[in-house]
Structure formats: C-alpha cells, structure tokens
Amino acid sequence: MGANTIGCEFALTTFGESHGVAIGGIIDGCPSNLTVDMAFIDSELQRRKTQNEFGTARIEQDKVVFFSGLEQNITLGTPIGFMIENKDIRPEDYQDLEHFRSNHADYTYLKKYGIKPLSGGGRASARETAARVVGGSIAKLFLQRFDIRIEAKIEAIGGINYLQNREEAERLLQAVKQAGDSIGGKIVCRIENCPSGLGEPVFDKFSALLAQAMISIPSAMSFEIGGGLSTAVRGSESMAGGLQGGISNGQSITFSVGFKPISSYNCKGRHDVCQLFRATVIVESMAALVTADLMKRNYNLGKI
Amino acid sequence: MGANTIGCEFALTTFGESHGVAIGGIIDGCPSNLTVDMAFIDSELQRRKTQNEFGTARIEQDKVVFFSGLEQNITLGTPIGFMIENKDIRPEDYQDLEHFRSNHADYTYLKKYGIKPLSGGGRASARETAARVVGGSIAKLFLQRFDIRIEAKIEAIGGINYLQNREEAERLLQAVKQAGDSIGGKIVCRIENCPSGLGEPVFDKFSALLAQAMISIPSAMSFEIGGGLSTAVRGSESMAGGLQGGISNGQSITFSVGFKPISSYNCKGRHDVCQLFRATVIVESMAALVTADLMKRNYNLGKI
Amino acid sequence: MGANTIGCEFALTTFGESHGVAIGGIIDGCPSNLTVDMAFIDSELQRRKTQNEFGTARIEQDKVVFFSGLEQNITLGTPIGFMIENKDIRPEDYQDLEHFRSNHADYTYLKKYGIKPLSGGGRASARETAARVVGGSIAKLFLQRFDIRIEAKIEAIGGINYLQNREEAERLLQAVKQAGDSIGGKIVCRIENCPSGLGEPVFDKFSALLAQAMISIPSAMSFEIGGGLSTAVRGSESMAGGLQGGISNGQSITFSVGFKPISSYNCKGRHDVCQLFRATVIVESMAALVTADLMKRNYNLGKI
Amino acid sequence: MGANTIGCEFALTTFGESHGVAIGGIIDGCPSNLTVDMAFIDSELQRRKTQNEFGTARIEQDKVVFFSGLEQNITLGTPIGFMIENKDIRPEDYQDLEHFRSNHADYTYLKKYGIKPLSGGGRASARETAARVVGGSIAKLFLQRFDIRIEAKIEAIGGINYLQNREEAERLLQAVKQAGDSIGGKIVCRIENCPSGLGEPVFDKFSALLAQAMISIPSAMSFEIGGGLSTAVRGSESMAGGLQGGISNGQSITFSVGFKPISSYNCKGRHDVCQLFRATVIVESMAALVTADLMKRNYNLGKI
C-alpha cells in the first residue's frame, strides 16, 4: 500500500509539501448518497487555523476545491479528489536558516530521499494536516448517519489540567510566549454511540488503529486508551471502557494524545506557542477516519 | 488486507484460538539466505513463558514446527509457515464461568461474530502472542545482519519504578498476589543502531507504526515515544531522540508501553499476577517486526 | 501486502514448497456461522488429483488439517489456518537433473533469491495449487449461501474443441502421450446467479481481478472475458455478458483460460500429458476466491 | 486498499468522472531525484487523443497540472498529486439519452451505488485513462534509468493482421465508419531489457499483475502472455519467453491485449470507430506502472 494512505475501505491518500503549490488528497470508499455539507467542512478547516494569541498569524484561506466524487454536493460512491491551494507561501522565511532547525525533519528527509528542497520541512508540517481535516470531515458526515459523535478537548497544557485550572494554564501560556518558547500538552477525545463489534482481532484492534492515527499527527508523542492512570491501578479496580479485546462494546471510547512543544521556536518561520488549540480538530478527524473505516470493514458480512 | 496481518514487505499473518488445536502463522517477505538459529527462537519463546512466582504455572511446550520457507535452516525467500500445538488445553477451566468474565473479549466477539465458542476468549488471549514471538525472532535475526539491536525492560510495576526500587516493587507484587489481585506497569524499549531514513511520511511514520504494533498487544493501554514527560517540558528543553518527523535519524529510538493489570483475576482460569515479566519479549518482537518491515520498505530504491 | 496473499476482505495467504514438509495457508475474512462440509473439501481436493491416464500417478493423500477458525465445523469468523502434509516426496527424482529443466522456474528463482533449493521448483509448482483449492472450497461454501454457482469445463485440448469432438481430442492425447510429449488447451468457466454491483471501478474490476487470479495459475497463458472471438466482431454485434464497466449486472459471467503444455516433459520428475483435467477445479477455486472477496467488499455499506 | 489504487510500492490512485470538473491522481512511491520531462508527459497524453479519422474529434486539452512531489521538475520522493481539467464537457450530449446506452456501465453503477449521475458513464470511461497515462509516463521515466523500454503496437483490427495487411485493415475501418459502427482488435506489447527476478511467486506473478492491469483498461476483453497460439502447441515446441514461473528471466516479455469494439456506437455522444489508435499508449502506461512497482518490490533486499 502506498505510504501516504490510511484506511482500507474508507481510505484517505494525501499529497502536498507545506510550501508547494497545493496540498490535497483522495477519499476512496465513501458511500454514495451522502450529502456533503460544505459549510461544515469550511468550519472544520477554520478550527484548524489560529484561534487565539497563542498561534501564529496564518492567513491561509484553506479553501477546499472538490474535483470529483460529488454531484450537487451528493457523493457518487466514486473517489473524492480535492485540493487546497497554498496561498500564503513565504519560503523566504525559511531560506536563511543556514543550519537545520533543531528537531525538524529536514535532516531525516535528506537522509531518506537524498534531496533537500528549497522550501521548508516537506511533508513533515502542520500544513499537511489540512488534508486530514477534509478527509475527517467527510468521515464525520458519514458517521452522523449512524449518530456516532466524536469530540476532542484540551485536557492539559504543560503539566496543568486545562479543564480545572484554565486561568493557571493561561498564565503559563503568557509566560511561555514572552520567553519566545513553546509548550505542549494533552488532548482527550471521546467517541460516542459507536456500535459494538468495531475493530479487528489481533493487529487491527480499534485501539491499535487509533494509536497509529494519533501518533501520525505531527508532534504527537503519546497515546493512552481509556481513562488514564490505568497502569497503576489493580485488576480489581480496572474499568472496562468502550473496548474489550480491542473491539467496541457499545459504550463510549475515550483516549488521550500527548503533544510535545513545537520544536522550531525562536525561528523566523511562523510557529505556535501552543498548537493544542489547533489540534483538537485534527485528533477528531483522525478518529473519524479510523471509525469510518472500521464501520465499513465490520458491516461487510462479518457474520452471515 | 486481511485483518490478521501486520507489515507490508516483511509481513506476519497469524491464526489460532487460545484453546484450539494450534496457533501459528506465515512470515511473508523474509529475505533468502538468512540462517535461522532454532535455539534462539526457542529461547525467545521461553522468555514468553512464566519466569517467576508472579505468573501462572503454564506447561505449554511452545515447540514451533516450520512447514516451509527453510531448507537446512536457511531461508529460501518464500513464505515461512509455522505452527505451535496447544498441548496444555484445559477448556474445563473456562466452561463453568456462567457469566462473561469481567473485561474479557467474549462479549465483543459475540457481538461481532454472532457466535460464542465453547472455549475461552478466542483470538483475544495472551496465547496468540506466541506467534508474534516466532515472527519477531525471525525479524530479529534479519536485523542482526545490520547490527540493529532491540531490548525491552520493565520500567515500572504499578506506580513504582522497577529499575530503581526493585525491592519495593517486589513487596507490592507479593501484596497483590496475596490479595488474589493483579497489577500492571510499564515497559521501556530501545532500538539501537537503526540506520537513518526508516519510516514513511505522514501516516506510516516509524513512531505511528510502533504505536499500532504496541497497542495491539493484549492489555497494552498506552504508548509513548521518547524519554517520557515530553508533554510537560518546553520547546527549548525538548530533545530530539531517534526520530524526526517520524523518520529515524540514526540515534537510538526509545519508547514505552503501559499495560493494565490482567483483567480476569480470581477466576479458575490461570492468569498472571503481573504479566510484565512475559511481555518484554512481546514488545521486542513487535518492534522487530515493524523495524524489519521499514528496512525493506526503505531500501527499495527510496533514492536512485 | 505480502506477495503470497490474494484478496482484501476474503483473503488467502499460502505457503509451501512443492517438495518440502507441507503446504498450507490462512483464510482471513471468512464470515462466522458458516458450516464447513469437510467431505466437500476432500472431494474438491480429489478433483485436483489425477483422474485419468493422462496425468501422473500421484499418491498424494492431500488430507487437509485445520488448525483454527472452526469449532465443530462451524466458522468462528477468525482466521482459518490449514496444512496439507507432503507425503509423497521424492526429491531424488529431481536431484540428478544436472541442468535446469527447460522452462521451469528454477532459473528465475535462483536469480531472484540467490539460492538453489535441493528440491524442485519451489513455489512454482502444481503442488502449490492444493492450498488454492482449500481456500476456494471454503469460498464456494460461502457463495452457496447466496446461491452463486461456479462451474468450469474443458473447452479445448490442443486446437480441438473438447465438447464437440471429444473422440478426436482423446486420439490427440494418446498420440501426445506415446510421443512422451505434453499438450495444453482451454478451460471455460461460468459464474451464475451473481448479484449485480460486484467489482470496483477502474483497477479492481471484476474482470481484472479474475484475470490476475487466472493468470496466476501455473501454466495459464491467456484469459478472455465473455463468449470469445469478441475482438473480431463489430460493436453492433457485441453482446453484453454479465459485466458492464467491469461490474456485474446480474447475468451469468463467462470467461476462458488458456494453458500451455506442461513444460518439463520427458523428465524423470512426474508430470502430466495434459493438466487440464486437474485444472478445472483450480480455475473454479480462483474464481470463487475473487467472487467471495468482491461480495464482502461490495456489501460493506457501498451505499447508505 | 482503496479500490482506485494500483501498485504497492509504486502506486497510482486516480479520481474523476468523465464529465465532471477534473480527473487526476496521486503517484505514491516514485523515488526522489528523478528528472520529470514535462514535454514527454505532454506527448504521451497527446498519443492518447484522436490521431486520425477513426477517432472522435476531441478537443480536450489534457494539460496536466502537478501540485506536489516535484521541485523544479525533480521528484522529491513525496507523493505526486496531479490534475487535468475537463475543459470539453458537453453533458447535453448525454442527457437526452432516455434509456441506458447498450452495454454501458450506467446500469451497473446504478445498481452498485444507487445513484444515477446527470452526466455520462462516471468512472467507466475512456476519459479516466488520461490519469493512467500521467502515472505511466512517470513510471516510464523511472524505468528509463534502468534502460527498460516498453512499446505497444496494433497487431490486428477486427480479424485482420494490421502489421501485414495494413491496407486491408484500413478498408475495413472505412466500411465500419460508413456503417456508423465500431470495431475492435488486438494490441501487442513488448517489455525490453527487464532485469531477471521481477515478479512475486504465486499470486503476484509478473504475468498475473500485467493481466489485471490490462483487463482493467476500458473495453479490454482478453490477455495473452507470450507469442500467441501457445495453447495449441505441444510441450516440446513451447518457448520460454521472458517469464518463467511468472518471474522475469532477463529476456523480452511479450503479451497481447484484445479489445472489443466501442459499445456505444450510433449515439450522439462522441465515440471512436476504433479505439486502438488511442489505446497503445494506455497499454504501455499500465505495463510501465506494473514494471515500476515490481522493480521497487524486488530491489528491496530480496536477497542479502
């Protein structure tokens, strides 16, 4: 399978360098007769952009153009090709960085491909995630038909619980911003009303596919299924949650994703103090893609 | 792709119910001319069995039989079929459990497949991991040719650091055992001497594939790349580690895996107080399978 | 995907050298609750063996052993592992062939894998097709639930229509046998009662997947969809058949497969004068595997 | 795997309805540092368009736009996204066809997807093949690095050998044109200078993958490997050709593809009298995609 594809029966393949002409992708396997709400897709893409003072001032328009697979906003069952132009390209921001930026992927891309693009980090960029959001928003619309809902929230910034200590967390953000530094944190996500039976035994467990999808997000460093702290409790206290043997049981599925701070602080390149505000929609999108794929894999005559 | 397969170019497909006739698998894509050290495979399988008083007294012989792909212990390049008989089957241990065991996968398997086997938890069992160890040990022998080494250790039992407080951890294990309960913990694993350039951009990042492989292990609940605590530090303190943009850079790669306690404590069925002693070789095996697959995917004319 | 796998949702992976310990495979994706008629599988395997004086006197018992995926002959939905021992191994027949047998795959296997097994042609052997027949017979039992029937017949031997000139064809076979030579021919196969909508647009057309499956059979050289001679007629005479745009329309699907003569005539190794008598069940098996896979791919929420 | 993808390590995924906004695709797995000759791609696309009086007067500009994977016409190793606008859309040609056109895929698409697009035959159209030619031309440039050459020629039109009786064939074409009818024929293709060892045993034989690729072309009905007539000769006369056991041996590989006449003659929609003049470049493109994929799959440490 191509390395830039995720999913088997509801599959997203993406393309695009962060500072090239455009990014985009193909959604293959979306069922026909689904109404695609374009305003919803735009609002999801909007969520991925800067929302507050702790993100960089991007003027990306992120206007998605659909080439195929739709007629009058109804899916045809055929592959959905789409593209988002990169309007706010400023490669000059990157060209005067004489050494590889700390922690960035330029070094490994050079080692892997033997070529160093003039522009920035190639595929290893937050820009690439816009294509994930387009795929994820179509997946969400598909899942809505079954009343499956997915919601992600910021759980912690740095070491501070954001839900319970929001003011303290914002003081931390201000301090980090003034220091020209960056900070990571944790996002928690919940999949609700998922039918039982999703996930495949052994390697393609629902939990395992969620882990791959989440850790594939730029800067994601950790993944945890269930309510956290589960490794410290005893068996008698351990709760079931929505998965047993990696397969959904009909209850809510909760997982969390930890993000490291953006690595290229203090560069002329524009980077976030804290990317978590932008990342909730990406986490939801990846969860929606995994869930949609498993819905299609499960409902295919799993039993007769 | 079949749901019971992991890997693209170095692929393992497994079969087998925990209390059926046999388990086994097919390793497809192992290069030819590799000498298979049978004593090494046996010793790896031995590591997966009970090693101390905190595991159940299994008398599984775990003797692997190879059907194909080898001639005089040299690989032919063709698929390696193998089987391990289930000699120590005691389904009577399981048949008098009138209700589904707490947290076990029987319920979700029933929902997914509409059938309830007489024997225990089907594919969702520690037994299935023996096939992973066979695949992983062949992968390790392949990686040895490139001096790539993989080693996993217990990092924590319950909340106690096992490396620094081993006596305290063992007191905890004794207490848990006497209470008829079980306890989880954390395993840390290191991949050393990995060449740069392994991992594919976007969805098949080295880190993302490791995450899937680890969370696919029974009872694994969390995965973390790098040295831990990375979400709490600031960008200026964040260290590179062996991966950038999800691609190896030639340095050591470290990750950890958290396990919940074995869920079916206090059953007549035989279960561990703490499965971590058996799990290190499983973590290593899954890491070896992922690394071997990426070695083959990367060295296929990634550059010309 | 592993190179020895066919199918996505109903997948067969096989292993085994022709003169090794055993051959076998894993069927992944067979739905649960299907009753497996063991006598039927045995009879299918029997069809693959010598049936008349124009095949070699094989004493292969071809007794299949199932390791998993079944309980009391009912499928569990989990992978079905199976094995057939190679009881009639006579590698001494092959060891004194000092040069590569004309047309056989030993040369290409040596070039590909850099190793020359002591035994015969490795995976490139009629022996390997027994695993296809096991997979195909399970696929047929699955398709029977939908009243889909698949039947193959010998259409021609050499250039002679076998259905209309059977006596002439048998005179040809006798002449070829006395000359110590071998002869090929053509098999025609019909899939009946196939529902409409099977096959995927563009690359995974029903016809295209049948073509791959058929040409993958040892000695198969040509594939033709529909009633034959279709390239010579005009558009106004061209008939629809059971496929439009590569997708089934509910009518019968007919195709034919041409086989070259067995290449290693006149060797001490045991070979057929004409392999077509054994090949009908292999053609049916491959057609059943393709159809079962497309059934599962199509019935997975193709439309909502 | 998505249904609209061909290839594992050098993979093409396509999108686009024949009368929608655009068609296009993603080439995933093309190595870096390859110079992409844009004039060559244009000339390949030109070959796919009408070349003589026996094709319809298309004014498609078929100008390909590349979005990613290239910088100054050098490949980066990342996915190559591309698009061709459908400039010559005339859906009014199709809207007054009150009944399904004979043999066309509208019926099966309706059955499969439960939706009837306003425009013509959806994905089942010659238009879709432009994306194959873009993918194939990049594959050809990759193969040129190894001096692998692929060339296809018209072998027969109707029942007439085009190479030896060109005048007779052209008289036939004129007669068919005047009758408002259409005619098929046969294309022969040769792959030269292919290294030995390409192709995978059993299901992914070079020949089997070529068969799938060729039969996936619209109107392709038959595939034959080797020099033809091979089923009628005896084993003692059968020649090796470039494949043994489905794996290349270093000699030229020859195969032929039979096409039925275009089915929708006599419609207002614009269709060819004989599509073979346009089809040679499509046959070459599909052969190049298969060969490039097998090159990458084979050179990935097949032996160590």
Measure the CA–CA gap between D251 and D241, rounded to whole angstroms.
7
**Gap from A252 CA to chain D (nearest CA, Å):** 28
Chain B CB contacts of D2 below 8 Å: none
Would you state the pLDDT for residue D237? 59
Question: What average pLDDT does chain B have?
Answer: 85
Question: Is residue B202 one of the residues assigned to a domain?
Answer: yes
Question: Is residue B304 one of the residues assigned to a domain?
Answer: no
Q: With CB atoms and an 8 Å threshold, state whether C15 touches B80.
A: yes
Would you state the pLDDT for residue C147? 96
Which residue do the tokens 């580690």 mark?
Answer: B241
Enclosing domain of residue C179 = 5-299
**Gap from B292 CA to chain D (nearest CA, Å):** 11
* CB-nearest partner of A300 from C9, C33, C78: C9
D279/C contact by beta carbon, under 8 A: no
Give the burial string for C194-222 (b: 16+ CB within 10 Å, else e): bbbbbbbbbbbbbbbbbbbbbbbbbbbbb
Task: Give tens-digit pLDDT for C49-107.
Answer: 866 777 665 555 789 999 999 999 999 999 999 999 987 655 554 444 444 454 567 88
Measure the CA–CA gap between B211 and B225, rounded to whole angstroms.
8
C155/B contact by beta carbon, under 8 A: no
- Strands of C47-97, DSSP E: 64-66, 70-71, 74-75, 80-85
Question: Is residue A250 one of the residues assigned to a domain?
Answer: yes
Instruction: Calculate the dihedral angle through the C-alpha atoms of A249, A301, A297, C194, rounding to the nearest 10 degrees.
Output: -170
Would you state the pLDDT for residue D99? 41
The answer for residues whose C-beta is within 8 angstroms of residue A234's C-beta and 6 or more apart is: B158, B176, B179, B181, B182, B183, B261
Would you state the pLDDT for residue C149? 97
Chain A CB contacts of D5 below 8 Å: 1-2, 5, 11, 13, 28
The answer for residues whose C-beta is within 8 angstroms of residue C275's C-beta and 6 or more apart is: C55, C126, C182, C184, C219, C259, C262
- Chain A residue closest in CA terms to B273: A235
User: What does the longest C-alpha to C-alpha distance in chain A come to?
Assistant: 63
Joined tokens for residue B259:
């396990």
Chain A CB contacts of D109 below 8 Å: 77
Measure the CA–CA gap between B189 and B255, rounded to whole angstroms.
5
Domain with residue C281: its CATH number is 3.60.150.10
pTM for the model: 0.93
Instruction: Calculate the dihedral angle through the C-alpha atoms of C134, C138, C144, C149, rounding to the nearest 10 degrees.
Output: -30
Instruction: Please state, as a whole number, how many other Cβ atoms lie within 10 Å of the Cβ of residue D163.
Output: 11
Would you state the pLDDT for residue B50? 66
Chain C CB contacts of A303 below 8 Å: 31-33, 77
Contact A65, A84 (CB under 8 A): yes
Measure the CA–CA gap between C26 and C20, rounded to whole angstroms.
18
The answer for residues whose C-beta is within 8 angstroms of residue A265's C-beta and 6 or more apart is: A180, A181, A182, A271, B235, B236
Would you state the pLDDT for residue C98? 41
B14/C contact by beta carbon, under 8 A: yes
Q: Are strands D11-15 and D22-28 parallel, antiparallel or unpaired?
A: antiparallel
Would you state the pLDDT for residue D301? 39
**Gap from C105 CA to chain B (nearest CA, Å):** 13
- ipTM for the predicted complex comes to 0.91
- Chain B residue closest in CA terms to D35: B304
Continuous H helices in chain A: 38-48, 92-95, 106-113, 129-144, 166-178, 206-215, 276-298
Q: With CB atoms and an 8 Å threshold, state whether C3 touches B28.
A: yes
Question: Is residue A304 one of the residues assigned to a domain?
Answer: no
Chain D, window 48-77: residues with a beta carbon less than 8 angstroms from a chain C beta carbon: none
In the predicted structure, residue D211 carries a pLDDT above the cut 60: yes
Q: What are phi and psi of A67, to 5 degrees?
A: -100, -25
- Strands of B193-303, DSSP E: 220-225, 243-244, 247-248, 253-259
Contact A28, A138 (CB under 8 A): no
Cα distances (Å, whole numbers) of residue B71 to B32, B35, B37, C54, C240: 10, 10, 13, 32, 51
Q: With CB atoms and an 8 Å threshold, state whether C204 touches D216.
A: yes
The one-letter amino acid code at D196 reads S
Contact B243, A243 (CB under 8 A): no
Tell me the DSSP string of B13-28: EEE--TTSSEEEEEEE
* CB-nearest partner of D33 from A15, A68, A114: A114
D33/C contact by beta carbon, under 8 A: no
Nearest Cα neighbor of B226 from B203, B246, B196, B212 is B246
Chain B, window 233-262: residues with a beta carbon less than 8 angstroms from a chain D beta carbon: none
Q: What are phi and psi of C143, to 5 degrees?
A: -70, -30
For helices D206-215 and D276-298, what crossing angle results, to 10°?
Answer: 150
- Chain C residue closest in CA terms to B112: C77
Task: Identify the H or E element spanning D36.
Answer: none
Q: With CB atoms and an 8 Å threshold, state whether D108 touches C249.
A: yes
Task: Give tens-digit pLDDT for B225-274.
Answer: 986 545 556 766 555 689 998 999 999 999 999 999 987 544 545 568 89
Nearest Cα neighbor of D45 from D117, D156, D129 is D129
- When divided into structural domains, chain A yields a total of 1
Would you state the pLDDT for residue B86? 87
Would you state the pLDDT for residue B102? 47
Question: Is residue D232 one of the residues assigned to a domain?
Answer: yes
Contact A80, A69 (CB under 8 A): yes
B178/A contact by beta carbon, under 8 A: no
Q: How far is CA C68 from the centre of its chain?
A: 23
Task: Give tens-digit pLDDT for D80-133.
Answer: 999 999 876 555 544 444 444 545 678 888 888 887 776 555 777 788 999 999
Instruction: Please state, as a whole number, how many other Cβ atoms lie within 10 Å of the Cβ of residue D206.
Output: 28
Instruction: Please state, as a whole number, how many other Cβ atoms lie within 10 Å of the Cβ of residue D116.
Output: 14
Chain B CB contacts of A221 below 8 Å: 224-226, 230-231
C96-C98-C99 Cα angle (round to 5): 140
Contact B2, C29 (CB under 8 A): yes
Residues D178-193, mean pLDDT to the nearest whole number = 94
Question: What average pLDDT does chain D have?
Answer: 85
D302/A contact by beta carbon, under 8 A: no
Q: With CB atoms and an 8 Å threshold, state whether B300 touches D296.
A: yes
Would you state the pLDDT for residue B99? 42
Chain B CB contacts of C5 below 8 Å: 1-2, 5, 11, 13, 28
In the predicted structure, residue D303 carries a pLDDT above the cut 60: no
* CB-nearest partner of B21 from C16, C67, C79: C67
Chain B, window 91-150: residues with a beta carbon less than 8 angstroms from a chain A beta carbon: 102-105, 107-109, 111-115, 121-124, 128
Instruction: Please state, as a whole number, how many other Cβ atoms lie within 10 Å of the Cβ of residue D266.
Output: 14
Chain C CB contacts of B26 below 8 Å: 2, 4, 13-15, 25-26
**Gap from B136 CA to chain A (nearest CA, Å):** 14
pLDDT: which is higher, B118 or D144: D144
Task: Identify the H or E element spanning D191.
Answer: strand D185-192
Query: Which portions of chain B are predicted below pLDDT 50?
Result: 93-100, 102, 229, 265-266, 268, 301-304
Question: Is residue D165 one of the residues assigned to a domain?
Answer: yes
Neighbours of D, requiring at least 3 CB pairs below 8 Å, are: A, B, C
Chain B CB contacts of A266 below 8 Å: 236
* CB-nearest partner of B303 from D8, D33, D300: D33
D210/C contact by beta carbon, under 8 A: yes
Cα distances (Å, whole numbers) of residue A296 to A32, A155, A207, B124, C298: 13, 31, 17, 22, 10
Contact C56, C50 (CB under 8 A): yes
Contact C193, C253 (CB under 8 A): no
Nearest Cα neighbor of A26 from A5, A6, A12, A39 is A12
C301/A contact by beta carbon, under 8 A: yes
Sheet of A160-161: strand order equals A160-161, A149-157, A185-192, A253-259, A220-225, B220-225, B253-259, B185-192, B149-157, B160-161
Q: What are phi and psi of B244, to 5 degrees?
A: -130, 125
Contact B115, A303 (CB under 8 A): yes
How long is chain B? Answer: 304
Chain D, window 83-102: residues with a beta carbon less than 8 angstroms from a chain A beta carbon: 83
Instruction: Please state, as a whole number, how many other Cβ atoms lie within 10 Å of the Cβ of residue D164.
Output: 10
pLDDT in tens, chain A (304 residues): 568 999 999 999 999 988 788 999 999 999 999 999 999 999 999 999 866 777 665 555 789 999 999 999 999 999 999 999 987 655 554 444 444 454 567 888 888 888 877 655 577 778 899 999 999 999 999 999 999 999 999 999 998 999 899 999 999 999 999 998 999 999 999 999 999 999 988 999 999 999 999 999 999 999 999 865 455 567 665 556 899 989 999 999 999 999 999 875 445 455 688 999 999 999 999 999 999 999 998 865 444 4
DSSP at A49: S
